[in-house]
């Protein structure tokens, strides 16, 4: 096989099924919904016009063409709706859209609504946004464009995809794969350039930071090689991921990467962040993982097998 054909075969292997994209959709929508629930409880503090960091301070720090909460407030003001109520309405619409997206009901409009309502929350609340914010934005944008509702959705049950072009599925999965490779390559290279990641100090520091602390890390001081091993393993998993996922070691590499994210969640409490990364991997390599675990491409017994 010539190189272009071989490259195409490797890129597109295990990309025919729509179920991984469905998992991607459901997981992302769940994260958006959970985040919305947190933001709802603290909307006055974190998002209010006169909250902890008023809009008049935060919004000029960003480009005027970014969609912001003040734009939403201005839109609703003629209807007698104040800024606080505007934030509440936006959050409710965002949550409702996320539920529709999760269920796969009118999937594309739901994805657009979830994405559009998320933008002002992120842009005005950028001071309160950590890595989860950017990853969620990337994922929601992909949900707008990709055929994430083709499986495990109310739309599928209603037969809305009978005549849908199946070619969009493998193309979407390939985009997810390449983007993940970019993420891990960049993260791995950046970490590899930090001495802390080779001495184990990075893991110690992360465990010691009060904002992440799940338990007292002091007992780990008696096992510093474990800290160093965990740090180096994190770097190596991320550096080798972009290479090994295109080989026969794909399922193993993705499995260990998912394990890494689970460890981040358990040890640092970053459950939402880890869930986003886990569903990204599931969306990109779910079919390969399923085949490796169960030796077949079918996700449910009643479905026809695919190639």
Tell me whether residue 125 or residue 149 sits nearer to another protein (CB atom).
Answer: 125
If binding is defined by CB under 8 A, does position 200 make contact with another protein? yes
Question: Which segments of 125-249 does DSSP mark as H helices, in order?
Answer: 131-145, 154-157, 168-192, 196-199, 201-208, 224-244
- Residues 18-77 close enough to bind another protein by CB under 8 A: 35, 38, 41-42, 45-46, 51-54, 57, 61-63, 65-67
Of the candidates 185, 244, 251, 252, which one interacts with another protein according to CB under 8 A? Answer: 185
Which stretch, 4-12, 76-84, 105-113, 200-208, contacts another protein (CB under 8 A)? 200-208
Of the candidates 210, 219, 295, 307, which one interacts with another protein according to CB under 8 A? Answer: 210
Residue 273: which residues within 8 A CB-CB, separation 6 or more? 130, 131, 132, 135, 264, 265
Residue 55: which residues within 8 A CB-CB, separation 6 or more? 49, 68, 69, 70, 83, 124
The encoded tokens of residue 16 equal 């025919």
Which stretch, 12-20, 87-95, 155-163, 207-215, contacts another protein (CB under 8 A)? 207-215
If binding is defined by CB under 8 A, does position 269 make contact with another protein? yes
Tell me whether residue 38 or residue 158 sits nearer to another protein (CB atom).
Answer: 38
To another protein, the closest distance from the beta carbon of 173 in angstroms equals: 11
To another protein, the closest distance from the beta carbon of 104 in angstroms equals: 22
Tell me whether residue 190 or residue 247 sits nearer to another protein (CB atom).
Answer: 190
Report d(CA 251, CA 247) in Å as an integer.
Answer: 9
Report d(CA 140, CA 183) in Å as an integer.
Answer: 16
Report d(CA 86, CA 49) in Å as an integer.
Answer: 10
To another protein, the closest distance from the beta carbon of 78 in angstroms equals: 25
How far lies 109's CA from each of 101, 171, 284, in Å? Answer: 9, 21, 23
Estimate the crossing angle of helix 69-76 against helix 107-124, to 10 degrees: 110
Radius of gyration (Cα) for the chain, nearest Å?
A: 21
**Site residues for another protein per CB under 8 A:** 35, 38, 41-42, 45-46, 51-54, 57, 61-63, 65-67, 119, 123, 125, 127-131, 134-135, 137-139, 141, 165, 167-168, 171, 174-175, 178-179, 182-183, 185-187, 189-194, 196-197, 199-202, 204-206, 208-211, 221, 224, 227, 269-270, 272
């Amino acid at each position: 096989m010539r190189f272009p054909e071989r490259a195409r075969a490797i890129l597109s292997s295990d990309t025919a099924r729509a179920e991984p994209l469905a998992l991607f959709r459901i997981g992302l929508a769940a994260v958006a919904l959970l985040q919305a629930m947190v933001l709802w409880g603290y909307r006055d503090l974190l998002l209010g016009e006169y909250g902890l960091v008023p809009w008049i301070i935060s919004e000029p720090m960003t480009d005027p063409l970014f969609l912001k909460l003040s734009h939403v407030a201005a839109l609703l003001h003629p209807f007698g709706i104040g800024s606080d109520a505007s934030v509440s309405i936006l959050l409710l619409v965002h949550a409702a859209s996320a539920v529709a997206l999760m269920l796969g009901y009118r999937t594309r409009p739901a994805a657009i609504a979830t994405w559009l309502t998320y933008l002002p929350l992120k842009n005005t609340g950028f001071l309160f946004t950590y890595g989860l914010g950017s990853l969620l934005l990337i994922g929601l944008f992909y949900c707008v464009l990709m055929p994430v509702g083709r499986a495990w959705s109310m739309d599928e049950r209603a037969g809305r995809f009978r005549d849908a072009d199946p070619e969009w599925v493998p193309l979407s999965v390939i985009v997810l794969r390449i983007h993940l490779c970019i993420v891990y390559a960049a993260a791995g290279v950046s970490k590899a350039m930090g001495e802390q990641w080779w001495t184990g100090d990075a893991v110690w520091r992360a465990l010691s930071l009060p904002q992440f602390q799940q338990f007292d890390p002091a007992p780990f001081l008696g096992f510093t090689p474990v800290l160093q091993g965990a740090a180096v393993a994190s770097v190596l998993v991320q550096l080798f991921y972009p290479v090994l996922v295109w080989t026969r070691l794909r399922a193993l590499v993705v499995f260990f990467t998912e394990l890494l994210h689970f460890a981040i969640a358990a040890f640092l409490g970053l459950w939402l962040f880890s869930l986003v990364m886990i569903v990204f991997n599931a969306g990109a390599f779910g079919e390969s993982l399923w085949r490796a675990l169960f030796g077949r491409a079918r996700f449910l017994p009643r479905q026809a097998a695919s190639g």
